[in-house]
Structure 1
Amino acid sequence: MTDVVITGMGATTPLGGDLASTWDGLVAGRSGVVALTDEWAAPLAVRIAGTLAQEPSEKIDRVKARRLDRSAQVALIAAEEAWHDAGLGLGEDNPIDPDRLAVCLGSGIGGLHALLDNWDNYRDRGPRRVSPFTIPMLMANAPAANVALLVGAAAAVHAPVSACASSNEAISLAVDQIRLGRADVVVAGGAEATIHALPLAAFGQMQALSKRNDDPTAASRPWDKGRDGFVLSEGSAVLVLESLEHAKARGAKIYGTVAGAGVSNDNHDIVQPDPTGLGQSSAMLKALRESGLSASDIKHVNAHGTSTPQGDVTEAVSIRQALGDAVDDCVVTSTKSMTGHLLGAAGALESVTTMLALHHRIVPPTINLEDPEDDLGIDIAANAARELPGSGELAALNNSFGFGGSNVAVALTTANATGR
């Protein structure tokens, strides 16, 4: 089976405008959740969110930005960082054959700002005030398509939409494209930008969001008895994936390997996870089988861990089911305790974070875990970063679960890693 390796990574998140600052914030246990002080937020029951640490306007030309929804803006920022991190140039300096280059970049909701802002223009000022760029801004594949234009991808452009599992599904699809011989290089990941009154009100009406308006940094608290919902966040994370043969041929530095992925569906409810955890554990077991890994190889799980009452307990059950007795030697964390929930971009950010955890042999903490649920049966890196074993190859799983019952687990290892 073709080895698929990671040669570049990039991100823009509530913790930092690039991957380095995001990682530093995660290891330090810093929250990126803030109070929303905009006038539009005042009537809302939920007035906190994980807003970007650095505005896209600081990196994207104003004229260009006007033709892009915020979701595409963040995708371009993360993709360009990942591309350069992989040692690749753009335009005439791009050495990759366009017909062997693809993009797989998911979004759970897509161009929400473009849609709602232009509806406001139509309602308040008439049809002639609707931007002619509305459709190419709001379409769900806009982030993927704009990244493809950036890097010159001609092999294929895919935009999986499976709610909060979208970007891990994009990574899974990217691995398939390389193993099937359809591409040598795939830019994979996700982007989301939905911090707006409507989704905050809608998720709030579902009782899905934390209402800790008076204490934003403590609002996301996976597995804590005091958790009351997730925190809506925005951002993007992108990986450059290559066949090992291609990466070696161009002398690329390698972080590690995407060893495989597992995909399943709960077939239980449109929003609630199956409380048995069987769909989730199925995805993890499939990832292990595809990767040729055993449960005892897994030393770390970056959990979906959204800080919802039912979801966190179900995931603890599913991790135990998948790993069995080996769960005792595995460190689990939820970085959503610091970043909040990036919806369709969450999986990509957490796959990047998982790869960095293996690379640096340190697991970022789950912060705000003051009063853990009883009998979880998993070893959580509570409130402080945890070191991983100091020698030998390491492997980990990253879980993403989405509305509709979508489950994706990605298996990552330090196999094939070179110095960085």
Structure 2
Amino acid sequence: MSVDNRRTARQAVSGEAAPREIRRRPKNRRAQIAAASAAAFGSLGYHGVSMEDIASGLGISSAALYRHYPSKYALFREELMRVGRAMTESAELPEEAAQWSARERLSRMLDALIGSTIENRASVTLVRWEARYLEEADRALLLEQQKALLDAFGAEIARLRPELSVDDLRVLSVAILSAVTSIADHHATLPVKSLVRLLSSACAAISTAPLPPPVDSVEEPAAVEIPESFKHELLLRKAVELFHDRGYPNVSVEEIATAAGLSAASAVYRFYRGKSDLLAAAFRRAADRVSAAIGPAVASATDPEAALTTLIGHYVAGSFAERALTFVYYTEFQHVPIEERTALRNIQRLSVEEWARLLREVRTELSPAEARFLVHAAFALVVDLGRAFGSAPFAAQARVGLLMQVVLFGRPSETPADS
């Protein structure tokens, strides 16, 4: 790990540029370690943090840390399983809930899930994006926990809307979980009461969303043929596919070269400085795709709602066309070269701000921070539904687009989406 990454890890776990001296062993040392590791893993990813970094950030020796956890993986696993259990348990209702209405039961579950997510915000990031680095048995256990949570929400939505199909219930349950846990994807802040109220309202709107009929079949976007002479473009596509399938740390330049039909890794360096340069190029493309659509949409729209509806359609279509790129955009930012991060963050921030500005013109009751939270939730919903259902007809573009509208507007758009 580079010196810059070590410094970032220390700051992630301690909030300071240098480790603090700890004079006595606190009684809650394991809790401190769990919180510190969650912050470090969330900031730099599982592969970007070492036990030495976590120990240094806490101001203790590596030996002291190993007395509590035998390995980095053990620490990582325990935290993910703890948060998985907490989220699953949040869906458990008390005995007296048998007398409650369907809306009251769902509201109670939502409040508990939102509270648990806020309390464990740093670690929820790991559950969302780093769980793929769990060993197979552990990953299966976490998936079981998530399935139990989604099934619980599906059962309560079914009480509220018995006309829905099983697939409809699955879509709405995933959308609700996505909206709540999207707060782990960014660092925007809101007072807890305001955040709970905002997320509760968004999830209630999702639970009553009038889903369009599912399509009979979904036509996969045709793959764009890349001429053999466009090796730089072919390398970028193959790199993104490998990063998506296996994670950036587990992919080598040699494997990217082989996937692109190059005879040796050295050929990659004629087009890119290295693996990290390929990742940065992918991020620039994803960020530019979102930002470049804003001007034309605003210029051609009759009002802010129409502009946002157009942007939603563009965002969904682009995400469906490049699912791997959309996923990588969420999962691998910590691996982008440091010199690229500021520029990329600025593009991301300006795009979110423009979406939020348009949203506030539609919903004047929202504060700037509340609008930003909803924009992040709408973006997250697209990637979460995509990775949960792929190209299933019941999660087609029209449905995903409508759910984005519901998250942002609290209702379907009054402006028809482009066909």
The answer to which structure, 1 or 2, has the higher relative contact order (CA under 8 A, 6+ apart) is 1
Q: Which has the higher helix share?
A: 2
Q: Over alpha carbons, which structure has the higher Rg?
A: 2
TM-score scaled by length of structure 1: 0.30
Q: Which has the higher strand share?
A: 1
